[in-house]
Amino acid sequence: MITFEELNLPEKLQIIRDLADEIWPKTFSAILSPEQISYMMRMMYAPEIMEKELANGYHFVIVRINGVPAGYFSWSAYTRNNTAKLHKVYLKHEFHGQGIGSLMLKEAEKQIKAAGFTCLRLNVNKYNTRARKAYFRNGFTDVESVKIDIGSGFFMDDFVMEKEL
């Protein structure tokens, strides 16, 4: 059984940090250095960062499979009218290839559409081919290529993708 739960209390965000600790190194070890993975984990998953995001209107949602946390996504309003930004979509590797990632995207789209947005935007690492294929399969298209300086000599080398809702 697959269920979704929005985490709207700071003390519940640890569930996402625990999932990220397991998922992130496996997802990015072939395309990012261990130093960059560690840096980005601190940059995005530190308690104070996530609590600030929650206070600023970010939505954090976990997917449970048979009651056990298996993945998560987060989204918020984007600076452009009627557009929301999908910041994170991650699933434990043991559940890849079962359509659960697509269900997560559909749930995110449902929530975002219900909030009044008509466009969904996300960034994906240019070398994360598995994720890019999943986004294409789910109706996203490339809109631009960006290289973002995130500090300490590290960059996010991404494609920006969008989907009309």
pTM exceeding 0.75: yes
* pLDDT, position 34: 96
Mean pLDDT calculated for residue range 43-57 = 97
| 8 A C-beta contact, residue 135 and residue 122 | yes
- Per-residue confidence band for 109, with pLDDT thresholds at 50, 70 and 90: very high
Mean pLDDT calculated for residue range 132-161 = 97
- Sheet strands side by side (includes 141-151): 2-7, 59-65, 68-77, 83-91, 119-125, 154-164, 141-151
Quick count: other Cβ atoms within 10 Å of Cβ 112? 23
* pLDDT, position 81: 85
- pLDDT, tens digit, for every residue of 78-102? 988 899 999 999 999 999 999 999 9
- Does residue 51 have a pLDDT over 90? yes
14-28 vs 34-45: helix crossing angle, rounded to 10? 160
CA atoms within 13 Å, Cβ hemisphere of 123:
11
Q: How large a percentage of the chain has pLDDT more than 90?
A: 98
Query: Rounded to an integer, what distance in angstroms lies between the CA atom of residue 88 and that of residue 65?
Result: 18
CA atoms within 13 Å, Cβ hemisphere of 28:
22
Mean pLDDT calculated for residue range 103-119 = 98
Q: Radius of gyration over alpha carbons of the chain, in Å?
A: 15
CA 89-56-148 angle, to 5 degrees, is 55
- Which of 111, 43, 47 shows the shortest CA–CA distance to 77? 111
Q: Which helix (H) or strand (E) holds 110?
A: helix 100-114
Query: Rounded to an integer, what distance in angstroms lies between the CA atom of residue 128 and that of residue 103?
Result: 19
* Mean pLDDT of all residues belonging to the chain: 97
* pLDDT, position 80: 84
